[in-house]
């Protein structure tokens, strides 16, 4: 049959007269409409898909026209999916995509304009509407039948590649629909292999029977007539997902490795540390340690800070540090509930504070218990398949990576720095927090035994300990007070170095007033620009807004900025800081290196206290200063180099697991929607 008109929306129907074509197009447009009741605020209707510049400008920043114009060519996209060698860095989302034809926006605009014009010109033609109505009903009926049943895989490879692209790069529906229209216009295929729109594709994915996409919701508490849930992935499934990555399974380390460099005991990866050695000795010789690393940090969901979520992540110490620091070597375990008080009075009450801590530890217990349910006196452990071979593992929580307040939540020590014993590592009194010369016998380390004794005796306040049972007391091979390791980013970059900058400004102002502070800022503005160096044109005016990366850039230049600005000690404190900081970033430490590192820490700390003592309201009774001086070296001996347990590589996860999924939700049942989005984004590409 000779045909003159082809529907540009469904790419299936051909018509010999314009009237029939017009009626079909109008019905196709209606079929393309997306229900706003079921969709989030970012979903756009196809009737709005006349893609001009204004439309693209309204796309959110992560799907901006600049990012869409940088999509790879078709062959590059195929390579990306086929070989899977894209190393996701949470600090970038779409920057890695490049080389789509520059006329993409122009082509789409022209195509949409022409289609709209054709529809407008065909409004008054005759048509055989009854036949078209029946055919459309058949299509809808078939669609409904398909939606009612689970499916195992996508209809075709192109469909799969499109949905992988959309989920991997967090494209919203409007951007995804633009790709569909672009593909359909230039593929010259009689029938499009793609879904009619992205919303249809998302619904199809919801129907797919993929074991990797399992997530659950568990009620943990009812308070003030409100239910609180944990939205989570089973911890065993998270581990299996990690081990299903071929690169990770090939690099996976099973046994403790004694590391010696130049005949000295040395420490690098976690499996070279003393903790692993002791844990291995406690299990059957034919079994292996599965090192569980937890990272937890409450974060805001929007720029105004009105909403917050508490994600918790999991990784494995069996994975070498360089590989573990990549995003796909971590899994979102779930979102912990955040309790709300009915008023300020309840919020400040000891009962509510206790309930918050109990809920946190009950949630952790619920999430982690499956790892230890068979871990009785005989020690059954768990079996896991790696590269088609079954291995016998004993899961052990090795380290908990978090900032100081979160560490206090895990250890259940008082968060206040004014408490009598504010250090979660030891029972040093607050009066001795600034003492850099404490001997080991002057610091009683916290452990399960002595803290449990305070708890059982009802004297927890004498150890600045919350009167709540700590879940980690029941887990083998973990001292939670040591496992909550010092974090370099929060201890140094955002902690002690920030203090050093603030005190420097006060010292300069005290010496010569504002002029000397201005001179310091002026020197910063004179530093030549370099691609690897971020310099602030206004100097250090608003340090409260600086990020950890900003501070690391400042470290590179401050030693020159303060040189001969006031006195030798000011220059020297920055020199000693840099020496200490560079040592902290070593990948391996010999025992002699640890000795040098400890000396470097003490030299800096002593000069820091001497130079800036008058400006510290607390007289430098800072828990972070104390733990860095007295506990970081022993932590290296236990768990290896600091690079293996810093939050630097975890903080960026909030973008993938919190910020973007939150924006894609309709702000109702947020955690459940976000968990669904995360499951698709993180796990689906593995099936391909």
pLDDT greater than 80 at residue 111 = no
Is residue 672 domain-resident?
yes
Indicate if the pLDDT at residue 101 is higher than 70: no
Residues 203 and 228 in one domain: no
End position of a domain, from candidates 189, 207, 225 = 207
How confident is residue 439, by pLDDT bands cut at 50, 70 and 90? confident
Per the domain annotation, does 450 fall within a domain? no
Q: Which tokens is 608 given?
A: 């820091």
- In this structure, the answer to whether residues 124 and 187 fall within a common structural domain is yes
What's the pLDDT band for 188 if we cut at 50, 70, 90? confident
Using one digit for the tens of pLDDT, what is the confidence trace for 501-515? 999 999 999 998 899
For the beta sheet containing 589-590, the strands, ordered from the edge strand earlier in sequence to the opposite edge, are 259-261, 264-267, 589-590
pLDDT at 642 over 50: yes
Q: Which of 207, 242, 277 is the last residue of a domain?
A: 207
Report residue 238 as tokens. 């998270």
Predicted local confidence at residue 52, as pLDDT = 38
Instruction: List strand residue ranges (DSSP E) for 337-439, in order.
Output: 382-386, 389-401
In contact, 317 and 255? CB cutoff 8 Å? no
Structural domain span for residue 141: 5-207
Largest CA distance in the chain: 97
Q: How large is the average pLDDT for residues 126-155?
A: 44
Which pLDDT tens digit goes with each residue over 419-429?
999 999 999 99
Closest C-alpha to 63, from 170, 200, 198, 164: 170
The CA distance from 203 to 661, in Å, is 17
Answer yes or no: are the C-beta atoms of 40 and 666 closer than 8 Å.
yes
Residue 634 DSSP SS3: helix
For 597, the token pair is 């590192």
Q: Are residues 403 and 279 in the same domain?
A: yes
Q: Are residues 500 and 580 in the same domain?
A: yes
Question: Which of 369-378, 532-541, 552-561 is predicted least confidently?
Answer: 369-378
Structural domain includes residue 425: no
What percent of the chain lies above the pLDDT cut of 70?
Answer: 68
The pLDDT value recorded for residue 527 is: 86
Q: Do 192 and 226 fall within a single domain?
A: no
Q: 63 with 161, same domain?
A: yes
Which pLDDT tens digit goes with each residue over 85-97?
Answer: 333 333 333 333 3
Residues 261 and 203 reside in one and the same domain: no
The verdict on residue 443 lying in a domain is no
**pLDDT at site 294:** 96
For residue 202, pLDDT over 90 is answered with no
Give the lowest-confidence range in 81-95, 160-174, 349-363, 364-378.
81-95
Residues 34, 140 share a domain: yes
pTM reported for the whole predicted model: 0.69
**Which uninterrupted H or E stretch holds 289?**
strand 288-296
Structural domains of the chain, count:
3
Q: Which of 131-135, 563-567, 629-633 has the lowest mean pLDDT?
A: 131-135
Integer Cα distance of 650 and 391 in angstroms: 28
Q: Which of 65-69, 110-114, 575-579 has the lowest mean pLDDT?
A: 65-69
308: enclosing H helix or E strand: strand 308-316
| Mean pLDDT, the chain, integer | 78
207, 234, 260 — which closes off a domain? 207
Tell whether the model's pLDDT for residue 658 goes beyond 90.
no
Predicted pLDDT of residue 24: 65
654, 655, 659, 665: CA torsion to nearest 10:
-110
Same domain, 217 and 362: yes
pLDDT above 50 for 461: yes
Task: Give 582-638 pLDDT, tens digit per residue.
Answer: 999 999 999 999 999 999 999 999 999 999 989 988 899 999 999 999 999 999 999
In a domain, 346, yes or no: yes
Give the residue among 325, 425, 337, 424 at the shortest CA–CA distance from 88.
325
Q: Decide if 451 is inside a domain.
A: no
In this predicted structure, what is the pLDDT of residue 165?
83
Residue pLDDT, tens place only, 204-217: 876 765 544 467 88
pLDDT at 258 over 90: yes
**What percent helix, strand, coil does the chain show, rounded to 5?**
55, 10, 35
Structure tokens at 383: 């079996």
pLDDT above 90 for 292: yes
- Closest of 327, 329, 315 to residue 91, by C-alpha: 327
Three-class SS of residue 471? helix
Asked if pLDDT for residue 467 goes beyond 70, the answer is yes
Question: Domain for residue 398, yes or no?
Answer: yes
* Residues 323 and 240 occupy one common structural domain: yes
Same domain, 141 and 242: no
- At residue 398, the pLDDT reads 97
- Residue 39 pLDDT greater than 50, yes or no: no
Same domain flag for 382 and 330: yes
Query: Band of the pLDDT at 650, cuts 50, 70, 90?
Result: low
Alpha carbons within 13 A on the beta-carbon side of 206:
13
* Predicted pLDDT of residue 391: 95
Q: In the prediction, which pLDDT does 660 show? A: 62
Would 458 be classed as within a structural domain? no
Query: Which segment, 113-122, 163-172, 627-636, is predicted with the most confidence on average?
Result: 627-636
Mean pLDDT of 296-301: 72
Among the residue ranges 96-100, 160-164, 458-462, 465-469, the one predicted with the least confidence is: 96-100
């Amino acid at each position: 049959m000779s045909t003159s008109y082809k529907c540009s929306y469904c790419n299936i129907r051909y018509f010999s007269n314009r009237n029939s074509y017009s009626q079909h197009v109008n019905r196709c447009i209606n079929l393309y409409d997306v229900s706003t009741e079921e969709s989030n605020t970012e979903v756009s209707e196809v009737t709005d898909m006349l893609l001009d510049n204004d439309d693209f400008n309204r796309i959110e920043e992560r799907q901006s026209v600049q990012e869409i114009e940088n999509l790879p060519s078709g062959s590059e996209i195929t390579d990306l999916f086929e070989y899977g060698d894209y190393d996701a860095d949470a600090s970038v989302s779409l920057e890695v995509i490049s080389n789509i034809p520059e006329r993409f926006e122009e082509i789409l605009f022209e195509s949409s304009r022409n289609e709209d014009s054709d529809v407008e010109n065909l409004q008054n033609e005759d048509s055989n509407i009854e036949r078209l109505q029946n055919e459309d009903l058949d299509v809808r009926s078939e669609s409904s039948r398909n939606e009612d049943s689970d499916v195992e895989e996508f209809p075709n490879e192109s469909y799969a590649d499109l949905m992988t692209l959309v989920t991997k790069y967090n494209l919203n529906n409007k951007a995804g629909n633009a790709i569909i229209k672009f593909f359909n216009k230039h593929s010259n295929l009689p029938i499009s292999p793609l879904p009619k729109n992205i919303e249809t594709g998302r619904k199809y994915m919801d129907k797919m029977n993929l074991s990797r996409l399992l997530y659950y919701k568990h009620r943990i508490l009812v308070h003030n007539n409100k239910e609180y849930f944990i939205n989570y992935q089973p911890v065993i499934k998270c581990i299996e997902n990690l081990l299903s990555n071929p690169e990770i399974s090939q690099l996976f380390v099973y046994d403790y490795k004694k590391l010696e460099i130049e005949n000295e005991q040395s420490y690098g990866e976690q499996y070279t540390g003393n903790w692993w050695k002791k844990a291995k000795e406690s299990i059957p010789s034919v079994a292996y340690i599965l090192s569980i690393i937890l990272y937890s940090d409450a974060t805001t969901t929007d720029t105004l800070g009105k909403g917050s979520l508490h994600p918790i992540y999991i990784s494995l110490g069996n994975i070498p540090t360089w590989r573990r620091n990549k995003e796909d070597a971590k899994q979102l375990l779930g979102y912990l509930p955040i309790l709300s008080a009915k008023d300020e009075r309840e919020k400040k009450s000891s009962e509510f504070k206790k309930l918050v801590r109990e809920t946190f530890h009950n949630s952790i217990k619920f999430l982690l218990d499956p790892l230890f349910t068979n871990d009785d006196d005989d020690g059954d452990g768990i079996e896991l398949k790696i590269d088609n071979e079954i291995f016998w593992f004993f899961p052990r929580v090795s380290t908990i990576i978090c900032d100081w307040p979160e560490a206090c939540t895990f250890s259940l020590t008082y968060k206040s720095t004014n408490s009598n014993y504010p250090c979660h590592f030891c029972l040093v009194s607050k009066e001795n927090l600034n003492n850099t010369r404490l001997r080991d016998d002057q610091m009683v380390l916290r452990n399960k035994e002595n803290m449990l004794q305070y708890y059982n005796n009802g004297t927890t306040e004498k150890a600045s300990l919350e009167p709540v049972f700590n879940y980690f007391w029941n887990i083998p091979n973990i001292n939670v007070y040591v496992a909550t390791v010092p974090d370099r980013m929060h201890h140094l970059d955002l902690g002690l170095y920030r203090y050093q900058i603030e005190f420097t400004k006060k010292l300069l102002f005290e010496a010569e007033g504002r002029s000397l502070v201005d001179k310091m800022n002026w020197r910063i503005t004179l530093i030549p620009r370099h691609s690897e160096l971020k310099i602030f044109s206004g100097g250090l005016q608003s340090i409260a807004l600086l990020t950890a990366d900003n501070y690391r850039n400042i470290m590179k230049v401050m030693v020159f900025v303060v040189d001969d600005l006031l006195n030798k000690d000011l220059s020297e404190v920055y020199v000693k800081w840099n020496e200490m900081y560079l040592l902290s970033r070593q990948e391996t430490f010999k025992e002699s290196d640890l000795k040098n590192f400890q000396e470097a820490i003490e030299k800096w700390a002593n000069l820091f206290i001497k130079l800036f003592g008058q400006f510290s309201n607390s007289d430098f009774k800072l828990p972070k200063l104390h733990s860095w001086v007295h506990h970081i070296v022993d932590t290296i001996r236990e768990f290896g180099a600091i690079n293996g347990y810093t939050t630097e590589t975890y903080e960026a996860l909030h973008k993938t697991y919190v910020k973007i999924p939150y924006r894609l939700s309709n702000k109702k049942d947020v955690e459940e929607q976000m968990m669904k989005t995360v499951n698709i984004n993180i796990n689906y590409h593995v099936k391909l």
